[in-house]
Amino acid sequence: MPASRTLTLVGTALLAVPFFAACGGSSDEKGSPSTVAITATDSTCEVARTALPAGETTFAVTNKGSKVTEVYVYGERDGAYTKVISEVENIGPGTSRDMQVQLTGGTYEVACKPGQRGDGIRQKITVAGGQGAEHEAEGRYDREVKVTAKDFTLTGLDGFTGKIGEKIEFKLENAGTVDHELEIFSPDGKEIGEVSPVKPGATDEAVITLPTAGTYTYKCGIDGHADHGMTGSFTVQG
């Protein structure tokens, strides 16, 4: 083969390498997840973008307030935004944490909760894209119930009524001076889940499914605390 022809082919091949590499890089970028900043303070919850594409989204949360905060993404359920899609907790003042979530088409609410209490400061977001049966299945649990333990009472479940099959996140805050826990029992007396012992001043949670209708009982099972009044019941309906 003539030397000039050899040099021409080699030069063409070298030029092709960056071209195909660039094509490969473009494909990777197209599939990359979206990142959205959330700035939380003691009185505001600022979402940088409220119109998002469907798919994986990373919410980059920065706490510029003076209180520990948490951020939730809620989906709609029975006309209200109560279905927890994702959450990130214990974000201290001046710190940041990321929250990944897979979103399908529809509307959601982002809630910042200064002090990790209440319904939160909310901002509605809209996700463009397909909406289907999978949207209903994405929630980690259906709703949250906050229970406060003191020496020796459990409050927060008064008047609570569940539905068969609901996934409830029971969040236990220990406002007492000794360890407390929360055990949940189905109508047949079997324990179906618990929030493990929580130290004074701390919070923990557990997601528990309510399998049948009837009267459920709950108690703190530590050192006879139930005998001192840390017990009660609630109803699950069909």
CATH at 160: 2.60.40.420
Strands 214-219 and 180-185: antiparallel
Of 83, 113, 137, the position where a domain reaches its end is 137
Q: Are residues 148 and 206 in the same domain?
A: yes
Q: Are residues 195 and 178 in the same domain?
A: yes
Mean pLDDT, the chain, rounded, equals 85
Q: Are residues 120 and 158 in the same domain?
A: no
Whether 215 maps to a domain, the answer reads: yes
Number of H helices, E strands in the chain: 2, 18
Residue 176 pLDDT exceeds 80 = yes
Task: Tell me the mean pLDDT in the region 61-79.
Answer: 93
Q: Are residues 78 and 107 in the same domain?
A: yes
Q: Are residues 113 and 159 in the same domain?
A: no
Whether 68 maps to a domain, the answer reads: yes
Whether 45 maps to a domain, the answer reads: yes
Nearest to residue 74, comparing CAs of 113, 124, 38? 124
Q: Are residues 120 and 201 in the same domain?
A: no
Whether 96 maps to a domain, the answer reads: yes
Q: Are residues 131 and 148 in the same domain?
A: no
Whether 72 maps to a domain, the answer reads: yes
Of 108, 137, 166, the position where a domain reaches its end is 137
22-26, 49-53, 109-113, 161-165: least confidently modelled range: 22-26
Q: What is the pLDDT of residue 135?
A: 44
Q: Please report which helix (H) or strand (E) contains residue 135, including its range.
A: helix 133-137
Of 93, 111, 137, the position where a domain reaches its end is 137
Residue 13 pLDDT exceeds 50 = no
Provide φ and ψ at 234, rounded to 5°.
-150, 170
pTM metric for this prediction: 0.59
Q: Are residues 158 and 85 in the same domain?
A: no
Q: Are residues 63 and 96 in the same domain?
A: yes
Whether 213 maps to a domain, the answer reads: yes
Question: What is the extent of the structural domain holding 208?
Answer: 143-237
Q: Dihedral (C-alpha) 45, 50, 54, 55: value to the nearest 10 degrees?
A: -40
Q: Are residues 128 and 62 in the same domain?
A: yes
Q: What is the pLDDT of residue 200?
A: 96
Count of domains for the chain: 2
Q: What is the pLDDT of residue 26?
A: 37
Q: Are residues 87 and 115 in the same domain?
A: yes
